[in-house]
Amino acid sequence: MNITILSSNRIRNRFFSVAPLFCCSLILLAVDWNHAFAERHEEDPFARLRHVMVEKDLRARGIKDSRVLQAMNRVPRHLFVDDRQRALAYEDRPLPIGEGQTISQPYIVALMTELLELKGSEKALEIGTGSGYQAAVLSHLAREVYTIEIVSSLAERATRTMANLGYKNVRVKAGDGFFGWQEKAPFEAILVTAASERLPETLWHQLREGGRLVMPLGGEHQNQRLIRVRKINGRRQTEEITGVIFVPMTGAAQGEAR
- The CATH number that applies at residue 222 is 3.40.50.150
Range of the domain at 252: 105-257
Overall number of domains in the chain: 1
**pTM attached to this predicted model:** 0.82
Q: 220 falls in which pLDDT band (50, 70, 90)? A: confident
- Catalytically active residues are 104
Domain contains 19: no
**Distance from C-alpha of 26 to C-alpha of 20, rounded to nearest angstrom:** 10
- In sequence order, what DSSP letters do the residues of 178-237 get, joined into one string? GG--GGG--EEEEEE-SBBSS--HHHHHTEEEEEEEEEEES-TTS-EEEEEEEEETTEEE
pLDDT in tens, 128-148: 999 999 999 999 999 999 999
Domain contains 11: no
Domain contains 225: yes
pLDDT greater at residue 10 or residue 88: 88
Beta-bridge partner residues of 95 = 103
Is 220 within 8 Å of 197 (Cβ atoms)? no
Domain contains 150: yes
Domain contains 194: yes
Domain contains 195: yes
Beta-bridge partner residues of 232 = 235
Report the sign of the C-alpha dihedral through residues 113, 176, 131, 145, in that order: positive
pLDDT in tens, 14-58: 444 444 444 444 444 444 434 444 444 446 789 999 999 999 999
Q: 219 falls in which pLDDT band (50, 70, 90)? A: confident
Domain contains 93: no
Residues of the chain with pLDDT > 70: what percent?
82
